[in-house]
């Protein structure tokens, strides 16, 4: 759809209703009536030719198409808001970088490493947009938008620079292992198994516990009920507390393994490769503004160092 034909009011109403799970709450946030929100969303559905909400006696919830659209609309509105904030906070001589990244990678891998770089590059203001949505990379005279991506296909107008591959490995707390030793894959069946999933198209074809047990020589194994989370941070908190075992992304849990908070019951064995890898996504044309090239070089060097020192990543 062309930009000039985008139904912006309808998209705002839809985004609020999807976020709140209620037309009434969306109307309160927007300062309009629930009827106005309902009409805007109905018109949006008619334009698209698809139902965005499932209507029930007790309220509404987003359909599969609605959840997919909500992710992209939220990312777009967040980018607009961030752009307006950046304009109001312009400081001469400062370069601004807005970096979008998957929440788990931003929280558990990037932020612990970013402090030293920021201390040495005061002229660069870095903002992190921790989101599963994709922010289109761009750069101008004094600001840039880059993205850390996981499993997204190549897009026109950008370059994907590989950071590291991903491996999936069972991890748990040392306390759990001491209380109930895990020496064989079948021992896992006596534990709560955590699974991290996403409500995005990228989840399709992503390996999970069933694939791990197949690699372990138990392809027909009936799995216990999995406890599912949408964020690694939530599942890791449970694993660290000794409440179960998570099939985790090795880059995401590497620092917890190194600190001894988590451990790998099978060591470097019985890891399965993810079909996706982590990448830095940048514009494929133009020249990066001052400070951005230094950030890109630093990030690529950090990724190389991580690959070299992390067991199972080389």
In the chain the domains, ranked by start, together with CATH numbers, are 3-71 (1.10.10.10), 94-165+276-309 (3.40.190.10), 166-275 (3.40.190.10)
Residues in Cβ contact with 249 at an 8 Å cutoff, skipping those fewer than 6 apart: 104, 166, 167, 168, 196, 232, 274
Residue 100 in tokens = 């979008």
Show the CA angle centred on residue 51, arms to residues 45 and 54, nearest 5°. 130
Per DSSP, the three-state class of 50 is coil
Helix, strand or coil, per DSSP, at residue 131: coil
Render the burial of 154-190: b for 16+ CB within 10 Å, e for the rest. Answer: eeeebebeebbebbbbbbbbeebbeeeebeebeebee
For 158, list phi and psi in degrees, rounded to 5. Answer: -135, 165
Give me the pLDDT at residue 199, please: 46
With 0-12 / 13-18 / 19 or more C-beta atoms within 10 angstroms meaning exposed / middle / buried, residue 43 is: middle
Helix (H) or strand (E) holding 193: strand 193-196
Contacts of 269 (CB under 8 A, 6+ apart): none
Both structure tokens of 68 = 């997919």
Q: What sign does the dihedral 28-29-32-34 (CA atoms) show?
A: negative
Residues 6+ apart with CB under 8 A from 219: 213
In terms of Cα–Cα distance, which of 227, 231, 151 is closest to 194?
A: 227
Structure confidence at residue 175 (pLDDT): 95
Question: DSSP secondary-structure letter at 108?
Answer: I
- Please state, in angstroms and rounded to a whole number, the distance separating the CA atoms of residues 7 and 20: 20
CA end-to-end span of the chain, whole Å?
A: 44
In the block, which residue shows the tokens 């209507």? Answer: 55
In which residue ranges of the chain is pLDDT below 70?
1-2, 4, 86-93, 198-205, 314
Closest by CA position to 279, among listed 152, 174, 134, 91: 152
What does the alpha-carbon distance between residue 53 and residue 45 come to, in Å, rounded to a whole number?
9
pLDDT of residue 90: 56
Rg (CA), the chain: 22
Q: Take residue 128 and report the two structure tokens written for it.
A: 């992190």
């Amino acid at each position: 759809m062309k930009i000039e034909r985008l139904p912006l009011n309808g998209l705002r109403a839809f985004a609020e209703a999807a976020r709140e799970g209620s037309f009434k709450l969306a109307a309160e946030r927007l300062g309009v009536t629930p009827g106005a929100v309902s009409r805007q969303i109905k018109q949006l559905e008619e334009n698209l030719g698809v139902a965005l909400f499932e209507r029930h006696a007790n309220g509404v919830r987003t359909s599969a198409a609605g959840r997919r659209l909500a992710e992209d609309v939220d990312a777009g509105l967040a980018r607009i808001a961030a752009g307006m904030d950046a304009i109001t906070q312009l400081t001469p001589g400062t370069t601004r970088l807005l970096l979008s990244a998957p929440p788990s990678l931003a929280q558990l891998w990037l932020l612990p490493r970013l402090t030293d770089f920021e201390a040495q590059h005061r002229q660069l203001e870095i903002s992190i947009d921790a989101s599963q949505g994709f922010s289109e990379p761009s750069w101008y005279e004094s600001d840039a938008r880059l993205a850390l991506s996981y499993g997204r296909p190549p897009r026109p107008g950008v370059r994907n620079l590989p950071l590291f591959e991903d491996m999936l490995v069972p991890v748990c707390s040392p306390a759990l292992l001491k209380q109930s030793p895990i020496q064989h894959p079948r021992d896992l069946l006596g534990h709560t198994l955590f699974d991290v999933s996403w409500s995005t198209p990228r989840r399709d074809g992503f390996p999970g516990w069933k694939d791990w047990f197949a690699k372990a020589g138990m392809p027909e194994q009936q799995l216990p009920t999995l406890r599912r989370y949408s964020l690694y941070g939530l599942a890791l908190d449970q694993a660290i507390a000794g409440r179960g075992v998570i099939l985790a992304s090795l880059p995401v849990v590497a620092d917890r393994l190194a600190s001894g908070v988590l451990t790998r019951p099978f060591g470097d064995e019985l890891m399965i490769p993810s079909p996706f890898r982590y990448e830095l996504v940048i514009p494929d044309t133009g020249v990066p503004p001052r400070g951005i090239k230094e950030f890109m070089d630093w990030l690529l060097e950090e990724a190389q160092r991580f690959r070299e020192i992390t067991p199972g990543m080389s």
